[in-house]
Amino acid sequence: MRRGLVYVGALWSHGHFTVNGTLLEAWASHQSFRPKDDPSPPASDGDPKNPTADFRSEKRSNTTHDSVTDPGARLARKSHGTASIVGHLGSVLMDNRHGLIVATDVRAPGFDAERDAALEMLTRLDPRTRRRTLGADQGYDTAALVEGARACGVTPHVARNIHVNKSTSAMDGRTTRHAGYEISQRKRKLVEEGFGWGTTIDGLRKLQHRGREKVAWIFSFVNAAYNLVRLRTLIRAGVCA
């Protein structure tokens, strides 16, 4: 787990936030993912300059293999049915008023990693007597996240994960019936703009740094740069001076 906090001063709403995570492709190839008990290079085609190793028939997992290029990276998929990549998980906490990133987190991808990162970032916010809200997509709709957010004095506004003929949502009508819940669901889409900017403009499509400490630093730096771009837009629109 690596921490990051981006300072945006009085422009925070301090009351309404969104959390989301994205996979960051590491500066490491699949060929660098080798067994922990035998990290020696696999058999290759003999090319001394750029050897090609056949690893496709080998069963690999994060419990048995590590990347020798970036040991902090893990195998992960962006969605079901897609190819796995060697990467890190980057998460952000966004202010809903102006779409500014107020906290970042980089850690190894895992089943509960995004939700754990969300709760960790909530604990970094300054104490507040009034309750906050936290918008998120269906991936955060678990009892542990909902209960953890409430323990931090935050009302979770998480999209309900309801499948056909089966309800698995930890959210109920006591929260979803309020107008603020719908506002949070609309506002949370702003977080994708920051991810898109970092991917297309500022080099997050493929990391060029190795090690979680450096990745966490560059991820915070990119989001701080995005805040400056966002502030320029807000100033031109007369939203803030």
Delineate the domains of the chain, giving CATH numbers in brackets. Answer: 2-26+88-236 (3.30.420.10)
Q: What sign does the CA torsion over 136, 141, 145, 151 have?
A: positive
Q: How far apart are CA 148 and CA 211, in angstroms?
A: 29
Q: How far apart are CA 104 and CA 102, in angstroms?
A: 7
Minimal CA–CA distance to 103: which of 117, 113, 116? 117
pTM, 2 dp: 0.84
Minimal CA–CA distance to 223: which of 3, 2, 4, 45? 4
Print pLDDT tens along the chain (241 aa). Answer: 445 555 555 566 678 999 999 999 998 888 788 888 876 666 565 666 666 665 666 677 888 888 888 888 998 887 777 788 899 999 999 999 889 999 999 999 999 999 999 999 999 988 887 889 999 999 999 999 999 999 999 999 999 987 755 567 888 888 899 999 999 999 999 999 999 999 888 788 899 889 999 999 999 999 999 999 998 888 887 766 5
Angle (CA) 68-69-72 rounded to 5° is 80
Minimal CA–CA distance to 27: which of 161, 203, 184, 159? 203
